[in-house]
Amino acid sequence: MSRRLDPSALALHLVTDAALSAPRTVPDVVAAAVAGGAGMVQVREKSASARDLVALLVAVAERVGRDVPVLVDDRADVYLAARAAGAPVAGVHVGQSDLPVELARRICGPEAVLGLSAATDEELAAAAALPAGTVDYLGVGAVRATRTKPDHPEPLGVEGFGRAASRTSLPCLAIGGVRVEDAPGLRAAGAAGLAVVSGICADPDPGAAAGRYLRAFHGLPAGVVA
């Protein structure tokens, strides 16, 4: 495990979505989810301008960034801008069509948390071949079809996720349409944690939703704090 990232933070990784969060603000939904047990946050707003994304990242980091790692999706420039503004931002998550991950590491520096999306055998093999310390974790999926990322790869399912996770020594987060009831099977299949969008952002009570995911992942009964 990377020295940059506490393993416990990976158990529940919240990915933001402003449309699903409305009429609540993204920082309000994030704060509720973190209070409910989310250990990491990825700010992802694909249609936002750079200016608006910096403002959102700073707002989220100011709310929760001293308690949990806050990352931004794709944008190393936005990460650097938020850091320059003094916000406690931890790193960046990059996809296969984004900035090459080795270049992202050089740009963001050795202290940044860096995640990488991977799904196919080729992508997993490429991730395994990266120099040690380049990547802190992989987001592996989609586990199921999901409307929050219409261009996702062919869904892996729980068994397919397990096969993918077995191909790498990097911690793997299961992402893409993950349901609460999937959590025990995904952990048994080798998941270091769950990355969740709509299951938390669209819930009327994001804190309670985060708690349900975390308890299911840890195999704890309802009412027990994970």
Predicted confidence band of residue 148 (pLDDT cuts 50, 70, 90): low
pLDDT at 136 over 70: yes
177 is in an annotated binding site: yes
75 is in an annotated binding site: no
Of the candidate ranges 19-28, 51-60, 96-105, 148-157, the one whose mean pLDDT is the lowest: 148-157
pLDDT at 149 over 80: no
- For residue 45, the model assigns a pLDDT of 95
For the chain, the structural domain boundaries read 7-218
Predicted confidence band of residue 222 (pLDDT cuts 50, 70, 90): confident
45 is in an annotated binding site: yes
197 is in an annotated binding site: yes
pLDDT tens digit string along 42-77? 999 999 999 999 999 999 999 999 999 999 999 999
pLDDT at 1 over 60: no
134 is in an annotated binding site: no
63 is in an annotated binding site: no
* pTM listed for this prediction: 0.94
- Percent with pLDDT over 70 in the chain: 95
β strands within the chain, DSSP E: 12-15, 40-43, 70-73, 91-94, 113-118, 137-141, 172-175, 193-196
d(CA 43, CA 56): 8
* Range 7-218 has CATH code 3.20.20.70: yes
- For residue 226, the model assigns a pLDDT of 66
Q: What is the mean pLDDT of the chain?
A: 94
98 is in an annotated binding site: yes
96 is in an annotated binding site: no
- For residue 223, the model assigns a pLDDT of 65
52 is in an annotated binding site: no
- Ramachandran assignment for 72, one of left (phi > 0), alpha (psi -120 to 50 degrees), beta (any other): beta
28 is in an annotated binding site: no
pLDDT tens digit string along 170-184? 999 999 999 999 999
Predicted confidence band of residue 125 (pLDDT cuts 50, 70, 90): very high
176 is in an annotated binding site: no
Residue pair 90/113 in contact by the 8 Å Cβ criterion: yes
47 is in an annotated binding site: no
94 is in an annotated binding site: no
- For residue 113, the model assigns a pLDDT of 98
Name the maximum alpha-carbon separation found in the chain: 44
- For residue 88, the model assigns a pLDDT of 98
- For residue 225, the model assigns a pLDDT of 65
- For residue 146, the model assigns a pLDDT of 75
